[in-house]
Amino acid sequence: MAAPSRKMILATFIHNSGAHPGGWRYPSAAPVDQHDFRVYAHLAQTAERGKMHCYFSGDSQGYPHIKGRDAFAATDYAGKLEPTTLLAALAVSTRHIGLIATASTTYNEPYSIARRYASLDHISGGRAGWNVVTSASDSEARNFGRDLLMDHDARYARAEEFVDVVKNLWDSWEDGAHIRDRDAGRYIDPDRVHQLDHEGPHFKVAGPLNVGRPPQGHPIIVQAGGSGAGRALSARTADMVFTAANSLDAAKTFYADMKRRAAGFGRNPDHVLIIPSVQLMVRSTEKEARQAEEELLDLVPTALALRTLQLQLGVDLSAYGPNDKLPDLPLTNGGQWVQQQIIKMARDEDLTIGQLARRVVVSRASYSLAGTPEQVADMCELWFREGGADGFSLSPNYMPGALEDFVDQVIPILQKRGLFRTDYEGETLRENLGLPRPPNAFTINPALGREPSMWA
């Protein structure tokens, strides 16, 4: 088969010290202290050795809502380095790989996010990305002055305005505004600095930002919303969309819908990259890969699996036993797409609550790529060629072995098939993703901004 002209996007998604709740106990996993920066530096350098596009740091701002001492004690969710801080350190430990950090629009202010990611983009030489999340759990709400999570659609309404303000703050300095002319004694060109004076339903922000325009113009925007409101936000504002799909059919439906929605906003659909999240386990035979998955799963206490399922579904299932079937459920106020995918999986495969919990605790509703290097490469190729994905966000099941196996055994196959690049093509993440640098909103529309009032 001819090599396609478009190349696959590959990211590695690192949540806690591993994506799998049993990963920290797996015998061949390195002993994990998730406060040890060297763990993350090794992972990022391994992904960079494989020429992967990005290191993607998931996050939440609270202890997950895992009730019950035993379930709680079994998780390695205990301790999470703040992602932009972590990625600033990774920026100086790596040279090419993109660095994507998660931050919530529900528990932040646009000015501080714009500043943080602009700084990260400058520090990394244009390799920063922001995974925009609206947050989905009450445990986070309780750390930010609320008892319960804000209403789903209200979170997205805030997010829409939030992202626009952040992008305009990044544009508040035009390119070349820092002239640093020693002879003329002019450090900046005041004509190229703009005040937003934004006043919307959620935010009042004057600007300008106190950091110059990021090297990428705008750091890469990533989004994982799967509900109607989430897809609308992604289609309008995101460069890359991260999703959970547990079959090629589901992936294709999502992919086609997102490309159509992006076109509906007047965007080039090729500039909205869809990367489903997949779990990863590579072994020399498929049987060994499946066995390794089972061994890992046996390290996860049933109580933790059941609690995780309830969290993802947004309901209390304590009235039901593990052998019961899932009852009809109301739409959650948390992550709606993931909830609907999980319910569909239970119905399609006729799973009990116990069986469903074992699936969900590992992968939410993502697909599991387990097999030989050739089989894993085949699956990636199939989804890529069949319109299910522009690439993948790989969640290694244990660290660092599962990522090393992919880099050393699967990537060379993808490269040989012409599906994945053999070196970084550009300097910035945007260049390496094949995405254009956005024009500055104030340059193309001078009516948008005002001269900063501090100069009046």
Ligand X SMILES: Cc1cc2nc3c(=O)[nH]c(=O)nc-3n(C[C@H](O)[C@H](O)[C@H](O)COP(=O)(O)O)c2cc1C
The DSSP line for 184-234 is: TTEEE-GGGB-B--EE-SS-EE----SSPPPTTSSPEEEE---SHHHHHHH
Q: Which of 10, 39, 91, 133 binds ligand X (CB under 6 A)?
A: 133
Q: Which is nearer to ligand X, 216 or 341 (CB)?
A: 341
441 binds ligand X (CB under 6 A): no
Q: Which residues, including other chains, have CB under 8 Å from residue 371's CB and lie 6 or more apart?
A: 281, 282, 283, 286, 289, 379
Tell me which stretch binds ligand X (CB under 6 A): 58-66, 168-176, 266-274, 411-419.
58-66
242 binds ligand X (CB under 6 A): yes
The rounded distance, in Å, linking the Cα atoms of 134 and 441 is: 25
Tell me which stretch binds ligand X (CB under 6 A): 35-43, 220-228, 426-434, 441-449.
220-228
136 binds ligand X (CB under 6 A): yes
String marking each residue 12-31 x if it binds ligand X according to CB under 6 A: ---x----------------
Residues composing the chain: 456
The rounded distance, in Å, linking the Cα atoms of 27 and 16 is: 18
Alpha carbon of residue 247 to chain centroid: 20
CB of 66 to ligand X, least distance (A): 15
The rounded distance, in Å, linking the Cα atoms of 60 and 233 is: 20
Q: By CB under 6 A, what part of segment 150-209 binds ligand X?
A: none
CB of 336 to ligand X, least distance (A): 4
CB atoms within 10 A of CB 226: 25
Q: Which is nearer to ligand X, 214 or 226 (CB)?
A: 226
The rounded distance, in Å, linking the Cα atoms of 387 and 377 is: 16
Alpha carbon of residue 407 to chain centroid: 20
CA distances from 231 to 70, 75, 160, 309, 342 (A): 37, 31, 11, 23, 18
CB of 152 to ligand X, least distance (A): 6
The rounded distance, in Å, linking the Cα atoms of 364 and 366 is: 6
308 binds ligand X (CB under 6 A): no
Is the Cβ–Cβ distance between 441 and 448 less than 8 Å? yes
CB of 275 to ligand X, least distance (A): 9
59 binds ligand X (CB under 6 A): yes
Q: From its phi and psi, is residue 53 left (phi > 0), alpha (psi between -120 and 50) or beta?
A: alpha
Q: Which of 84, 102, 124, 172 binds ligand X (CB under 6 A)?
A: 102
227 binds ligand X (CB under 6 A): yes
Cross-strand partners of 369? 280
Q: Which is nearer to ligand X, 193 or 250 (CB)?
A: 250
The rounded distance, in Å, linking the Cα atoms of 347 and 366 is: 16
341 binds ligand X (CB under 6 A): no
Q: Which is nearer to ligand X, 205 or 311 (CB)?
A: 311
- 3-class SS letters over 301-370: CHHHHHHHHHHHHCCCCCCCCCCCECCCCCCCCCCHHHHHHHHHHHHHCCCEHHHHHHHHHHHCCCEEEE
58 binds ligand X (CB under 6 A): yes
**If binding means CB under 6 A, how many residues of this protein chain bind ligand X?**
23
CB of 210 to ligand X, least distance (A): 27
243 binds ligand X (CB under 6 A): yes
Q: By CB under 6 A, what part of segment 361-380 binds ligand X?
A: 366
3-state secondary structure of 282: strand
CB of 440 to ligand X, least distance (A): 28
224 binds ligand X (CB under 6 A): yes
Q: Which of 337, 383, 420, 442 binds ligand X (CB under 6 A)?
A: 337
CB of 405 to ligand X, least distance (A): 21
Tell me which stretch binds ligand X (CB under 6 A): 173-181, 241-249, 281-289, 318-326.
241-249
Q: Which of 114, 241, 273, 338 binds ligand X (CB under 6 A)?
A: 338
Q: Which residues make up the interface to ligand X (CB under 6 A)?
A: 15, 58-60, 102, 133-136, 224-227, 230, 242-244, 277, 335-338, 366
